Amino acid sequence: MTRPSHGAAALLAGVLLVMPLSSRAADSPPPMVRSDVTAYVQHLQHLADVVRTCSAQRSSLACDPTQVGPDDEVITPDGTRLVHYTWLRQTLASAIKTDKIPAAQSNAATVQLNAAAARLAMDSQISSPDLVAPEQPSPQVRANLSSILAERRFQRIQQDPGLLRRAYVAILNWLFERLGRVAAYGGRNPWIAHLLEYAAILVPCVLLAWWVMVRLRKQAAAPRAAQAAAPTAPSAREWQRWLEDAERFAQHSQWREAVHHVYWAAISRLESHGLWPADRARTPREYLALLRSNHTIEPDLRGLTRSFELIWYGNRPVAEEQYRDARARMDNLVRLVPR
């Protein structure tokens, strides 16, 4: 029996992992039957009819592997010849066509049936009464063999494959052997097929849910685009300009206005940094309440807010000392909240 191409074989192995075996005949072949050359030739002709019927109908009844019967132990004048039909049983089992079998597997099964018919015809032609003087194969047999060998998968065979090619083939054979054992075990234990089906559904769902969660977390952690501040908000005016005005008032000893502008320079700085949304309607205490209690800038902003409220709203007398204290707190805020 010719081996299917690597792509078709891999697809066939994948189907076998999730489906019970279609027949148990290949797992436990019937015992051998002693026969002479004439009975052996008749058996070959019967098998050829079975292959032709299976190739035409591709049904479970026409391709039943049990039609092959037992293996032959042919008695000849030169000794006993053992003829096994495991390859034919497997060919018939894989040829049953259903809606669940992919097109690639169905085409591979057709090729195997053609090869099986050619092999049976060849064995029948060369089986003379003494199995010594074989006849030449008929033109039809030669034509069948030539059409099979002309296929693309046989043209890729190399006469002297390299080391890498041999290693690749050995790995594939090892993999197919393990998959065949798993498939045979799954045929005897149907729960494995159900487990693989549930895993094939559950694993993609879990991976999809995990991917969605990661995407949502990344979107939540991504910084939002800064929105333009309202014209009346403190951050609508750069904090450096607030400080420049404060310096000008200080040069003229207008300490009350100087402290006032230092305070709003601090609010503009923090607001432009994104510590809170821009809103001119807030009171100094509301700005302070927007910070958490353990924030690093909370002590300086609290001291600056208290100084501003006493001077601006409480009409407390103010001197250069209060202005220098406000500027020191402002410089500390600039250091703790860099741009």
CATH for the stretch 234-336: 1.20.120
Instruction: Report the DSSP pairing between strands 79-83 and 72-76.
Output: antiparallel
Q: Kindly indicate the confidence band of residue 25, based on its pLDDT and cuts at 50, 70 and 90.
A: very low
Give the pLDDT confidence of 57-112 residue by residue, as tens digits. Answer: 888 888 998 998 899 888 887 788 888 888 989 888 888 876 566 666 677 878 88
Domain boundaries, the chain: 6-200, 234-336
Nearest-angstrom CA–CA distance, 168 and 173: 9
**For the chain, what is the mean pLDDT?**
79
pLDDT of residue 163: 84
Least confident of 118-122, 158-162, 304-308, 317-321: 158-162
Nearest-angstrom CA–CA distance, 156 and 97: 28
Nearest-angstrom CA–CA distance, 72 and 194: 38
Give the pLDDT confidence of 38-63 residue by residue, as tens digits. Answer: 888 888 889 999 999 998 888 888 89
Nearest-angstrom CA–CA distance, 15 and 300: 71
Nearest-angstrom CA–CA distance, 73 and 71: 7
Q: What one-character DSSP code corresponds to residue 156?
A: T
Is pLDDT at 10 greater than 70 in this prediction? no
